[in-house]
Each structure stands twice: as C-alpha cells, then as structure tokens.
A and B are shown apart, each in its own frame.
Chain A
Amino acid sequence: MIRRPAAATLAAATLPTAAAAHSFAPGPDPWSQIISGALVPLSDPALLLALLPLGLTLGIWSTEGLPRLWPVLAAGLVTGAAAGPLAGLSIAFTAILTGLATALMGAAALAWPFWLMAAVAAATGLVTGMTMLEGHPFGSLPTTLYLGMIGGALLTVAIPFVLTATTRTVIPAPWLTIGRRVASSWLAAIALMLAALRFA
C-alpha cells in the first residue's frame, strides 16, 4: 500500500525539469497568455526598478517625454526579447544598474539632451527585454506571450509617466516638483540597495 506512492514520489523527484528564471505557465487561450506575459515585468523587482524610474524620469524631463520616445523604448524591448537567449544571469543586475542611473537622472532633473534620453530609453528596453526572456530560446513561447510582456513593460513605464506628466500640467505646485524628484531619489536608493544585495 505504501510502496506504490513512495515509488511514484521518488520517480517524480528524480525527474525534475530544467529550471528557468522566469518560467511561464500560460493558459491555452491567447488572452490568458497576454495576461501572463504582462505580469512578468510587474512581478520582478529588477524589472520594476528599471522600468519605473524610466517613466518617472521621462515625465520629469518633459510632459511629452514618453510620446516622443516610446518607439525607441519599444524597439529596445523587441531587440532585447530577441537577444534574451544570449543573456546570462547577470542581466538582471544590469537592469537594476540601468534603473539606478535613470533614477539619478530623474532626481537631478537637469535639462538632459534628447539623444541621451533616447539612449536611456533604448538601453532600458534592451536590458528589460533580455531580463524578461533570459534563457528562453526565441520562438519557444507563444507570440501572444511576447506581446503581453512588451505591453506590460510599456504599461509599467507609462503609469509613472502619466502620473508625473499629469501632475506637472494639472497641479503645477512647487511641492509636487520636489516630490517627483524625491520619489526618483527613493527609487535610486532602493535600486542601489538591491544592486548591493545581488552583488553580495
């Protein structure tokens, strides 16, 4: 009576499948695959700390920041997703460092040139795309899952950007100007701590 379950358990334990940093269990229908993909950037601290500072910094830089640069960001995400199989485990650390640099730019709130902001958007898209698909061969997942991930990443940038840009135009109060820069410094501080933890 006891031997059969024990044997089955032993068999299951000795046949593990390969571990993946971001394993996906999408449902059979396209909608659940899109949702599953969109949740990826929202559930990884490294991805959040790369994408949220970009939205905040773009909003601090210009109220038209994201509309002008989203094609660059999207191109970076697609390129990063394609290059995902080439990424090593250190790509998440790179994503955090990118977020740290972006957050510091937001806290400084200088009149950054367009080309620099475009480079930051492209770099963020590239490293987050690679982080999301690190270790997954291109084409190994449903197309709708890729669409969900890219859409989720764009949304994660868009939310802080919209909040920042809207408060700049609707409530142009000095304390909110300070608040946006303080928020950016908080993100920089959190990113620095996480980078230290990954490095330690």
Chain B
Amino acid sequence: MTRPLFLAAIALLAATAAHAHTGHGLDGGFLTGFTHPLLGWDHVIAMVAVGLWGAFLGSPAIWILPITFPIVMAVGGALGVAGVTIPMVETGIAASGIVLGLMVAFGVRAQLWVAALLVGLFAIFHGHAHGTELPSAANPYAYAAGFVLATGLLHLAGIAFGTLTKSPAGTWAVRAVGVVIAAAGAAFLTGIA
C-alpha cells in the first residue's frame, strides 16, 4: 500500500504545468479561421485594397465591392471544399495584390461592373485557398464564420482608411498605400516575400 502512495506522491510533485487550454483545441475553430486572413499578408493586402478602391470609387462601389467579395469568395471556398481544382491559386492571390494595389495607386475610375468583376475574380482565388483547408478543420462551421468575419473587417479597415481621399493630402496617402500593396504583391509573386 505504501509503494503506490509513494509513487503517486512523486508523480504529483514531478507534475509539469497543466495544458488544459493551450490553444491547441482552437485549431480549425473560429479563432483559426479568424486569424487565417489576418496572419497571411497576401490576403491582408488584397482585402485592404478592395476597401481602399471602393472608397476611391465612391458610392455605390464603396458598398458593392465589400459585398461582392465575401459572397464570391464563399463560392471559391465551396469549390475548394468540393475538391474542384483551380489552377495557379497562389499566383492569383499574389496578382490580386498587384492589380488592386495599382488600381488604388493610380486612382483608376473603373466602371462599376468592371470593378465588381475584377474583385470577384480575385475573390475566387482567395476563397479557394480558404476552402481547401476547411474540410480538415476541427470545427469547419466556426472556421468558416471566422474567416468571413475577418475578411469583412479587413475590407472595412480599407474603407475607413480610404475615407482620407476626401482631402488632397489624404488622397496621396491612400495612393501611396496602393503602391506599397502592389509592391508587396509583386514580392509575393516573385517569391521574394
């Protein structure tokens, strides 16, 4: 009887720190989905660029683009979930940073349908990248909700910064951010970043 007690006492004294909530259980949950677009800079720059361009174009593009993107992104995600292969997804994601960044940098006043088409096209690539990771997620429902919300918040961040276009100095600041976004996109495309 004393030996088991002795061994139990040693085991208790030698216990390491508990890891009840290490964050591991969050793998594939809401937080993982939420942080996925935020921690991937190739995603971040494109999302912010959508908001910036929308702000540049003004109404109704300012709300049509951030509405178009998540819905079409979900279509891309659904294709990813279904296992449909889309060629050059990573190239498309990097190209979205370059193209959308240049649109902002040059203040391109594209027609609404052109802007929506362009944004929708790139949204397919971004959504597909998220969607292919969904089936393996521990809680795909929470993951999906998380990445959609984070994507939308990045758009709103872009729109908020884009409101600076109301002043001439602010317009130049927004254009400068467009240059940075395009350069970052080029860095991703060429493998520098």
Identify the A interface with B (CB < 8 A): 45, 104, 107, 177-179, 181-182, 184-186, 188-190, 192-197, 199-200
Q: Is the CB of A196 within 8 A of B152?
A: no
Query: Could you tell me the distance in whole angstroms from the C-beta of A176 to the nearest C-beta in chain B?
Result: 11
Q: How far is the CA of A185 from the CA of B81 in the complex (A)?
A: 20
Binds A, one of B62-70, B86-94, B106-114: B62-70
Cβ contact of B148, chosen from A104, A107, A189, cutoff 8 A = A189
Q: Which 9 A/B pairs are nearest by Cβ-Cβ distance?
A: A196-B78, A189-B74, A192-B74, A193-B144, A189-B70, A185-B67, A178-B63, A196-B81, A189-B148
Question: Nearest chain B CB to A190's CB is how many angstroms away?
Answer: 5
Q: Indicate if the CB atoms of B141 and A189 lie closer than 8 Å.
A: no
Chain B interface residue number, banded: 20 to 34
Alpha-carbon distance between A178 and B65 when the two chains are bound, in angstroms? 11
Check A193–B71 contact: CB distance below 8 A.
no
Distance of A45 Cα from B29 Cα, bound (Å): 14
The DSSP consensus for interface residues of chain A is: helix
Would you call A193 and B134 a contact (CB within 8 A)?
Answer: yes
B135 surroundings in chain A (CB, below 8 A)? 197, 200
Nearest-neighbour CB distance to chain A for B71, whole angstroms, equals 5
B156 contact from A107, A182, A189, A195, Cβ within 8 A: A182
Task: Out of A177, A185, A190, A194, name the residue touching B66 (CB < 8 Å).
Answer: A185
A178-B62, A178-B63, A186-B152 known; A196+B70 contact, CB < 8 A: no
Q: Which residue of A lies closest to B83 (CB)?
A: A200
Report which B residues bind A (CB closer than 8 A): 62-63, 66-68, 70-71, 73-75, 77-78, 81-83, 131, 134-135, 140-141, 144-145, 148-149, 152, 155-156, 159
Known contacts A186-B152, A196-B77; 12 additional CB pairs below 8 A are: A182-B152, A182-B155, A185-B70, A186-B149, A188-B70, A189-B70, A190-B148, A193-B131, A193-B134, A197-B81, A197-B134, A200-B135
A189/B73 contact (C-beta < 8 A), A196-B131, A197-B144 known:
yes
| Interchain Cβ contacts under 8 Å between A and B, 15 examples | A45-B141, A178-B66, A185-B70, A185-B71, A185-B152, A189-B71, A194-B144, A196-B78, A196-B82, A197-B134, A197-B135, A197-B140, A197-B141, A197-B144, A200-B82
Is A190 touching B81 in the complex (CB atoms < 8 A)? no
Q: Which residues of A contact B67 (CB under 8 A)?
A: 107, 181-182, 184-185
Closest to A195 in B: B78
Which residue from A104, A179, A194 sits with its C-beta under 8 Å from B71? A104
Distance in angstroms between the alpha carbons of A195 and B140 in the assembled complex:
11
Cα distance, A185 to B149, chains bound together (Å): 10
Let me know if B71 and A192 touch, CB within 8 A.
yes
CB closest chain-A residue, reference B152: A186
Q: Which chain A residue has the least Cβ–Cβ distance from B64?
A: A181
In the bound complex, CA of A199 to CA of B78 (Å): 9
Evaluate contact between B131 and A199: CB separation under 8 angstroms. no
In this complex, which of A184, A197, A199 has the most chain B Cβ atoms within 10 angstroms of its Cβ? A197
Least CB distance from A45 to B in Å reads 5
Identify A188's interface contact among B74, B81, B134, B159, CB under 8 A: B74
Most B CB atoms within 10 A — which of A181, A184, A192?
A192
Bound-complex Cα distance A188 to B70 (A) = 8
